[in-house]
Amino acid sequence: MLKRLGKQFRIGVAPGGVALARTSVWRRAGIEVLAERALPAGASHEQLAAAVGEALDGAIPRNAAVSVVLADDLARIWQVTPPAGCTRMSDLQAAAGMRFQTLFGASTTGWRIAADWDASRPFLAAAAPEPLVGAIEEAVRGQRGQVVEVVPQFVAALNEWRAQIRPGAWFGMIQSEVLTLALFDGAAFAAVRSVPVSPDAGPDWLDAHVAREALRVGVARPERLLVCGPAPASWAGGDGCELLASAQSGLSGLAAVACTGSAR
């Protein structure tokens, strides 16, 4: 039993497959990738869940706690502005649902929603397809494990680096050639924005993009921009941009999804 002290099992789920990793709260113990299952493009929720079960088979002890990280392609992330005078959770939930429908053109039926519910300021919300989450939870239970969290990769990364995001800083992550930014107004969350980014995008492109987003949202440009993921090396040092060194460096794309947030 002492051998498992501090160990954490993490499943990464992406459109291209799944990965299982074992991490530790002790940083020196490192990351151990236990299994990867690649799938063809367009794999169904059932195929992804079956791959989760295959990856877990024989790899985890009974009643092991398993964290699930979903690639952002499989989830939805958006910001919600609470209604004026809002005092009830039902009002916040309704506002989140209306914003979801405006942005994504569909109702929240069939989506599992979580958020940093806040009646006084904009907050971040995330949703995952209920059929996918339910199938993954069933697959984990089938291997005698327990799902303790399901989180989109961007949210996992934001939580991982939260302590580094001081007032005046923004946070960004690159995944699948998409840059997602969390904009802050001082220390308060203001918005989340995503944009495709080409591998040869230079610091001038980044500077112009940040300036545009600040104008659109109506906040000051950041003094620092913290970026994790496979960002162009030329961004480092440009206009306050800092590329964050991650424990996921050198891992495959699937394993990197699984391990995002493991340093918390």
Rg (CA), the chain: 19
Per-residue pLDDT at 27 exceeds 70:
no
* Beta-carbon contacts of residue 197 (< 8 Å; ≥ 6 apart): 174, 177, 178, 179, 205
Instruction: Indicate if the pLDDT at residue 3 is higher than 50.
Output: no
pLDDT of residue 264: 55
- Give me the pLDDT at residue 262, please: 79
Domains assigned to the chain: 2-72+129-152+250-259 (3.30.420.80), 162-243 (3.30.420.40)
* pLDDT tens, residue by residue, 114-123: 999 999 999 9
Task: Check whether 257 has a pLDDT greater than 70.
Answer: yes
**Per-residue pLDDT, 200:** 87
Summarize the confidence of residues 96-104 as an average pLDDT.
96
Q: How confident is the model at residue 5 (pLDDT cuts 50, 70, 90)?
A: very low
Question: At what angle are helices 45-56 and 130-142 packed, to 10 degrees?
Answer: 20
Q: State how far the Cα of 225 lies from the Cα of 220, in Å rounded to an integer.
A: 12
For residue 149, what pLDDT band results from cuts at 50, 70 and 90?
Answer: very high
**Span 29-34, mean pLDDT?**
82
The arithmetic mean of pLDDT across residues 210-228, rounded, is 95
Distance of CA 183 to the CA centre of its chain: 15
Residue 89 has pLDDT above 70, yes or no: yes
Q: Which two tokens stand for residue 243?
A: 């590329």
Question: Once rounded to an integer, what is the mean pLDDT over residues 128-141?
Answer: 97
At residue 27's C-alpha, the angle toward residues 22 and 30, to 5°, is 40
Quote the pLDDT of residue 194: 95
What was the pLDDT predicted at 1?
32
Predicted pLDDT at 17: 96
**Mean pLDDT score across all residues of the chain:** 90
In percent, how much of the chain has pLDDT > 70?
A: 93
* Phi, psi for 104 (deg, rounded to 5): -115, 0
